[in-house]
Amino acid sequence: MPILDLEEQQDISDTLQELKLFDNKIRVIKSEHLSGMHRLHRLYVAKNDLYKVSDIHAILPALTLFNFVKMKFSCCQRVMGLKDFDPFVLEINSAPCNYPAYLKGLDWWSITRTDLDIPCQGNDPKT
């Protein structure tokens, strides 16, 4: 289900520039949740329990700020889309990985796509 039903809120897709979803127990951000928000420049998802992030960079090309702080998550294939952002757009904890062990404590910007190209494990629900 979309975060906002743009079928009924057509004016939002053409005008919404900032969306704050702080501390909402969000687990997954899928493409269909954000598609159609053509003018969204700032997206804040801090303090959620995200374990999967779709290709937000491709879905929201106008983003100038993606706030992804105050979260620890599994650094695996489900978050690889975050590597499409540069440090001027993505705000992220300096060491956000809680899995795998060899990435714990490493600076996000030193982690490569190859490092993230591993299956996710743990209690993450299947999507």
Give pLDDT tens digits along the chain (127 positions): 455 554 555 567 778 899 999 998 888 888 888 888 888 999 999 999 888 888 888 888 889 999 999 999 999 999 999 999 999 999 999 999 999 999 999 999 999 999 999 998 865 444 3
* Pair 38, 13: CB distance under 8 Å: yes
β-bridge mates for residue 66, sequence order: 43, 90
* Pair 37, 6: CB distance under 8 Å: yes
90-113: per-residue pLDDT in tens? 999 999 999 999 999 999 999 999
∠ CA 66-85-108, nearest 5°, is 90
Taken in order of first residue, the domains within the chain and their CATH numbers are: 10-116 (3.80.10.10)
The token pair that represents 115 in the structure block = 């490092």
**CA 127 and chain centroid, separation:** 15
- Output the pTM of the full model: 0.82
